[in-house]
Amino acid sequence: MEDRLTRILFIEDDPSDLNFLQTHLSAEFYLELEWARSGEAGLEILLKHNHDVCLIDSDLGSHYGIALLREAMANGCRIPIIMIASESDYQVNIDAMESGAQWCLFKEHIKPGVLERTIELAIKQHRTRNQSRLLNELSRLINSRLDLSSVFNASLRALQENLELHRLAIFTYSEDTEALLLACATEGCPQLKEEVPIKDTRFQHCFALQNPLYTRDLGEYPSIGTLTANGIYSDVLVPIMCGNMPLGGMAVGRSKRDAFFPDEVKFLEEVADQLAIAMHNTQLYTELQEAYDKLGKSQEKVDQQERLRAMGTMASGIAHDFNNSLTPIACYSELLMTQDEIWSDKVNRRRLLKSILTAATDASRIINRLSEFYRERSPDDTFQPLHANELVRQCIEMTQPRWKDQAMEQGKTIRVESDLLAAHILPGNRAEIREMLMNLIFNAVDAIADRGTIFLRTSSTRGELLIQVTDTGTGMDEEIRKRCMEPFFTTRKNGTGMGLATTFGTISRHNGRVEIDSSPGHGTTIRIFFPIREEAIVEQTVEVPAPVKPLHLLLVEDEPVIRETLQEMLKVDGHSLEVANNGEEGIQVFKRGKFDLILTDRGMPEMNGDRMARIIKGIEPEQLIVMLTGSGEMMKAREDVPDCVDHILSKPISATELRRTLQQMTELKPAW
């Protein structure tokens, strides 16, 4: 016997069999022996789970014992059942064991002590089997979750469904307050405090011993009378430990005294070990996630610093180029205004005006370089078909201030040559590939000390596209070559060590690979291979649009010079128009007439173009509106286009772009 008396249910319709049973059980063996005189009554009592074991006679008259056993198991019986058969019928034995009986005994084999020993073994085997199954289930539940609240709740439900418990509470330990914090508890559980200090409590003793503390009779401890007042008469406190460090605890209570078997206490300790693993894993995961988040933020910060550094380099060069472009505009305009004889020389006049137009176009392209670089990358950016040759040409142009003008100011002479033979599409993120190429060009410039060449080459074969950057700079030794792609590794005094690391990240995200050849004094060659699409690049021709048929337009612009310029350009193509100086005036003019198209500036006093467009769209949703702005390219790059306009036209505006825009708007409104 295992330290406590047994509660037995006997389902039998013959009183003589009850007497037989009682003669083979000592009064010291059982706490309670309840007799059910029929199968129906016995099943109802059995499913209340108030007993430790149930004995069923195989012959119950109209309610056959095997059928009763099957019905009990089908209804979720959690009590071990021993079948008692009158005669040695091995088919009964087989049927009983297959139907879920823990044991089958024949009356003729029952001797003094046999029945008691069989009951003890049946109870123990049943508990051991259930505990093993439950422990495996808990392990599966715990290992499939990383959220601690989910782990606790899943464990609590599993224990509550499989154990007869009056109370189950799971706590976490707060080292700061030296208290237990309630994580979860069974429903209907006597109300518990959210925070329980452990000083001078049974839990403190429990943590000191690092073992479960089983209190067989809580009534013997008046200081914890609140438990007995709530119907809890025995409990087990189980520490949840990681080595010598407390992580939490479990409080498990039952409504009877001496209600826990020793193997149940051991089982609860094993459950606590599983919870300790889950809590420790969750703590490690949380720390890892925090470290990963910090690393991600650091990476973003370093990436941003790299972009700002590159942008600063570009900005200084762009300022240089922009001033160069303004020089012919200012000089030739002054000549045309002050030298009357130039107007009489038609050839010279056209030459000067053409130079002014070319310089203005160059200035516009210079500003657009920044807008291309400014576009922020989004995690949702998808790969798009890219022309590698076009990207390389663009990067050579965008970096020209660095490798040409600034290099010459530093006493360097650098030539950039290219051999662009790629004939296939590269699927990728345009902004990332462009930044990668610019970083490689900047690194090549830094590697050239006095005079040198940077050579860019593209080619494509079946399956791969090659982008190669070669410089005739100082080169790298073997150790530096192996480490040059590592984050934070740099040989430059003011370098961040993230330029080539960022490049490597871009290559990896595009499923590419990289090869680096370098040696001191012989320069460096970086070859990047990307997977490609098996479709050839088709060169597109740009047609100069013809003027559309005359339209009736509303022009809203606060700058007189721009307003007059646009008026002249539109009148040349035969359009009629009305003008307004600001948004409020534009709305008044709109209400007085009907217009095929409205052209409006964005930044205006009193009422800006966005608000005016929104009001007009509210009056006439089908009205087409084109917004004119000097920030057009950056707005497109940031995807910051107001939903109340149909098209963005970037300043400075050329006659060609204006005609193309009017043509596109005409196609949107075929009723014109």
Question: pLDDT tens digits, residue range 576-612?
Answer: 999 999 999 999 999 999 999 999 998 888 888 899 9
Side-chain half-sphere CA neighbours of 284 within 13 A: 7
pLDDT confidence of 149, banded at 50, 70, 90? confident
The reported pLDDT for the residue numbered 214 is: 93
pLDDT higher at 2 or 179: 179
Average pLDDT over every residue of 374-381:
49
The reported pLDDT for the residue numbered 323 is: 64
Average pLDDT over every residue of 302-307:
63
Starting at the edge strand found earlier in the chain, the sheet holding 30-36 runs 30-36, 6-11, 53-57, 81-85, 103-106
| Helices assigned H by DSSP within 417-541 | 430-447, 478-483, 499-509
pLDDT confidence of 54, banded at 50, 70, 90? very high
The reported pLDDT for the residue numbered 498 is: 52
The reported pLDDT for the residue numbered 433 is: 87
The reported pLDDT for the residue numbered 616 is: 94
**Percentage of residues in the chain having pLDDT higher than 90:** 22
The reported pLDDT for the residue numbered 382 is: 62
The reported pLDDT for the residue numbered 173 is: 92
Residue corresponding to tokens 């030298």:
339
pLDDT higher at 324 or 546: 546
Task: Kindly tell me if the per-residue pLDDT of 495 is higher than 70.
Answer: no
Chain mean pLDDT for the chain = 82
Burial class (CB in 10 A: 0-12, 13-18, 19+), 142: buried
The reported pLDDT for the residue numbered 541 is: 47
Tokens of 244: 């010598």
d(CA 434, CA 445): 17
pLDDT higher at 124 or 333: 124
Task: With beta carbons less than 8 A apart as the criterion, state whether 496 and 506 touch.
Answer: no
pLDDT confidence of 3, banded at 50, 70, 90? very low
Task: Kindly tell me if the per-residue pLDDT of 378 is higher than 80.
Answer: no
d(CA 16, CA 530): 90
What does the DSSP 8-state code read for residue 108?
G
Run of H or E including 204: helix 202-209
pTM of the predicted protein model:
0.43
d(CA 54, CA 33): 10
Distances (CA, A) of 221 to 134, 168, 359, 434, 562: 32, 20, 97, 77, 94
469: amino acid identity, one letter: V
Which is nearest to 400 in space by CA: 322, 334, 460, 332? 322
The reported pLDDT for the residue numbered 311 is: 59
Domains defined for the chain, CATH in brackets: 6-132 (3.40.50.2300), 145-286 (3.30.450.40), 375-536 (3.30.565.10), 552-668 (3.40.50.2300)
Which is nearest to 45 in space by CA: 559, 439, 53, 554? 53
The reported pLDDT for the residue numbered 340 is: 76
Which is nearest to 399 in space by CA: 442, 449, 446, 364? 442
Least confident of 193-197, 319-323, 534-538: 534-538
d(CA 605, CA 586): 12
d(CA 400, CA 542): 26
Burial class (CB in 10 A: 0-12, 13-18, 19+), 281: middle
Burial class (CB in 10 A: 0-12, 13-18, 19+), 60: buried
Query: Phi, psi (5° rounding) for residue 94?
Result: -65, -45
Tokens of 427: 């699927």
d(CA 589, CA 594): 9
d(CA 329, CA 319): 16
d(CA 283, CA 289): 10
Which is nearest to 514 in space by CA: 473, 525, 316? 525
Question: pLDDT tens digits, residue range 230-286?
Answer: 888 899 999 999 888 899 999 999 888 888 888 889 989 998 998 888 888 888 888
d(CA 407, CA 415): 10
Run of H or E including 629: strand 625-629
Task: Kindly tell me if the per-residue pLDDT of 670 is higher than 50.
Answer: no
Least confident of 409-413, 450-454, 474-478: 409-413
Task: With beta carbons less than 8 A apart as the criterion, state whether 170 and 183 touch.
Answer: yes
The reported pLDDT for the residue numbered 539 is: 47
pLDDT confidence of 304, banded at 50, 70, 90? low
The reported pLDDT for the residue numbered 220 is: 85
d(CA 456, CA 525): 10
**Is cis: bond before 652, omega within 30 of 0?**
yes
Tokens of 4: 């406590």
The reported pLDDT for the residue numbered 381 is: 54
Distance spanning both ends of the chain, measured CA to CA: 101
pLDDT higher at 100 or 369: 100
Would residue 188 be called left, alpha or beta, if left means φ above 0 and alpha means ψ between -120 and 50 degrees?
A: left
Run of H or E including 368: helix 346-374
Least confident of 359-363, 378-382, 544-548: 378-382
Average pLDDT over every residue of 385-402:
86
The reported pLDDT for the residue numbered 2 is: 44
Task: With beta carbons less than 8 A apart as the criterion, state whether 187 and 202 touch.
Answer: no
Question: pLDDT tens digits, residue range 68-110?
Answer: 899 999 988 888 999 988 777 778 888 888 888 888 888 888 8
